[in-house]
Amino acid sequence: MEEEQKDNYLCKYCNSETYEDVVKMCLWEEEKLVVVEDIPARVCKNCMEQFYDEATRLRIDKLKDTKFPVEEAKQVVKVPIFSLSSVKISEKASPEKPEA
């Protein structure tokens, strides 16, 4: 009975159905961005919110406690970082400006 309930786990935000999946998570460890893969989760079909069971959360916390030593990473990728401050939009793109 209890297992059946678990299969019908509904999203606590929008009450939609969820499905089992294996997901990735991005998190900042101080100035370092890290990715954690192979996380078992239930994902909401509607809002895509991810839910983890107790054991998974404990394992994530345990990994966080290691401070993510780079030599233990499965893979290291370069991440391009952009600044929005260098992005300008043309005046034409602004709908609030009246036509001259």
By CB under 5 A, name the binding residues for Zn ion: 11, 13-14, 16, 44, 46-47, 49
Kindly provide the b/e burial profile for residues 67-98, where b requires at least 16 CB atoms within 10 angstroms of the residue's own CB: ebeeeeeeeeeeeeeeeeeeeeeeeeeeeeee
Is 13 or 19 the residue whose CB approaches Zn ion more closely?
13
Name residue 27's beta-bridge partners: 34
Provide the minimum distance between the beta carbon of 84 and Zn ion in the complex, in angstroms, as a whole number.
29
Is 19 or 58 the residue whose CB approaches Zn ion more closely?
19
Provide the minimum distance between the beta carbon of 41 and Zn ion in the complex, in angstroms, as a whole number.
13
What tokens does 16 get? 């939609």
Phi, psi for 57 (deg, rounded to 5)? -60, -40
Is 23 or 35 the residue whose CB approaches Zn ion more closely?
23
Is 36 or 49 the residue whose CB approaches Zn ion more closely?
49
Which bin fits 94, alpha (ψ -120 to 50), beta or left (φ > 0)?
Answer: beta
